Amino acid sequence: MPRVRFTLPQVKDYPDSRPSACPHCGSVILNRHGKVTKRVTDLYISEVTVIRYRCTDCLKTFRHYPEGVDSHDRSLRLRGVSALSWALGLSLRSVSHLLSALGCGLSRMSVWRDVQEWGSGALSGWMNRTRGRVRVMGADETVIRLRGKKTVVGFVTDAKSGQLVGMDVLVDKDSEGFMRWLQRYVSRFGVEAMVTDDLSTYKPVVERMGIEHQVCIAHVRKNVRRRIDEIDGWDWHRARIWRLLTELPEGGGRELLRMERAVRAEPKLRRLVVELCGKWPSLLCHQRVGGMPQTNNCTEKTIGRSKIRYKTVRGYKSMEGMMNGLGLTQWVWSGREGLDLSELVAA
């Protein structure tokens, strides 16, 4: 488990500054126009003072709230705790019970609204938090239930830092769909190489984008092991293929090409050899491209962050709700040591 320290929004009972400008017209000449007491639901404060101002230009009045309070009847801190508790693993019902026990009762629906509020804040800041180039990018997909249907969500990471770069719902799972999904990131971040799993859709897409491709070695080995075990006889060839795949020697591709002729009598073996032969350059990409990992663990780990939360969710009811939920769990489990929830309000 990573060590994470969360900072919650502050809540003050009195505004400690004047408003900088009129929210209606932008004028800076404002007169105080009385004050009101507002009841708030919060873990520590139950009442705050709100100052009213009148604009000397447009003559409209408005309320100026203390830090951590807005027009909502619950403080930012309480809404933040609610969303955070959900993202850390509690169900909507459990968060509702927990906060009720702390004297701040709220419904499951309210908890869900809080998750939406903070999740959308996390999502909107995502692309902007990724700075500079992403030379080596990892891509992977996962299936999430949306209104009972399986929905594919694609994740893109910076393979070097392991940080999430983007998340997208993949409607079309063909080459064109993958192209539309990945090209945006490749162009925007100047990506030079990509690591993916063994799924055949990636290969032509990465080739079309003209960048280097590493196929996750762990995936390939797992698939090849299973296929080798399904073949009877041919012990020498099977052992040799496995050895090539574990040692990845120079000239391994040429050897596979020669082997193809020798194994034609066994279609299963031949198919495996032909496929590996075509994949060989992508298995060795990590030897050519600096900073390229052998496996796609970086992206799988990232997806896992949302799965921790996802385990206790039976599925999402709306696309927006799903993306906000994923955004919040990704932010909470991003692996950074200090996380300030206020960052999501400002975003």
Closer residue to Zn ion (CB): 57 or 176:
57
Return the residue of 11, 22, 205, 322 that touches Zn ion, per CB under 5 A.
Answer: 22
Closer residue to Zn ion (CB): 23 or 103:
23
Contacts of residue 26, Cβ cutoff 8 Å, sequence gap at least 6 = none
**Is 28 one of the binding residues for Zn ion (CB under 5 A)?**
no
Closer residue to Zn ion (CB): 58 or 143:
58
Task: Write the CA distances from 313 to 78, 219, 310, integer angstroms.
Answer: 22, 28, 5
Region binding Zn ion by CB under 5 A among candidate stretches 47-55, 131-139, 246-254, 297-305? 47-55
**Is 21 one of the binding residues for Zn ion (CB under 5 A)?**
no
For helices 267-283 and 235-247, the axis angle rounded to 10 degrees is: 10
Region binding Zn ion by CB under 5 A among candidate stretches 22-30, 170-178, 265-273, 308-316? 22-30
Closer residue to Zn ion (CB): 57 or 174:
57
Return the residue of 7, 10, 14, 27 that touches Zn ion, per CB under 5 A.
Answer: 27
**Is 23 one of the binding residues for Zn ion (CB under 5 A)?**
no
Closer residue to Zn ion (CB): 34 or 291:
34
CB of 56 to Zn ion, least distance (A): 8
Closer residue to Zn ion (CB): 29 or 346:
29
Return the residue of 6, 18, 25, 47 that touches Zn ion, per CB under 5 A.
Answer: 25
Residue 17 CB neighbour total at 10 angstroms: 8
Return the residue of 7, 21, 24, 288 that touches Zn ion, per CB under 5 A.
Answer: 24
Closest alpha carbon to 14 in 52, 63, 51, 62: 51
Region binding Zn ion by CB under 5 A among candidate stretches 16-24, 88-96, 122-130, 333-341? 16-24
How many residues lie near Zn ion (CB under 5 A)? 7
Region binding Zn ion by CB under 5 A among candidate stretches 34-42, 55-63, 178-186, 324-332? 55-63
Residue 190 CB neighbour total at 10 angstroms: 11
Give yes or no for a contact between 347 and 122, defined as CB atoms under 8 angstroms apart.
Answer: yes
**Is 58 one of the binding residues for Zn ion (CB under 5 A)?**
yes
Region binding Zn ion by CB under 5 A among candidate stretches 14-22, 100-108, 252-260, 263-271? 14-22
Residue found under tokens 């090849």: 224
Closer residue to Zn ion (CB): 25 or 127:
25
Closer residue to Zn ion (CB): 55 or 165:
55
CB of 50 to Zn ion, least distance (A): 18
Q: What's at 199, amino acid-wise?
A: L
CB of 119 to Zn ion, least distance (A): 33
**Is 100 one of the binding residues for Zn ion (CB under 5 A)?**
no
The burial class, CB within 10 Å (0-12 / 13-18 / 19+), for 147 is exposed
Sign of CA dihedral 41, 43, 46, 52: negative
CB of 61 to Zn ion, least distance (A): 9
The burial class, CB within 10 Å (0-12 / 13-18 / 19+), for 186 is buried
Region binding Zn ion by CB under 5 A among candidate stretches 56-64, 200-208, 220-228, 293-301? 56-64
CB of 52 to Zn ion, least distance (A): 13
Residues contributing to the site for Zn ion (CB under 5 A): 22, 24-25, 27, 55, 57-58
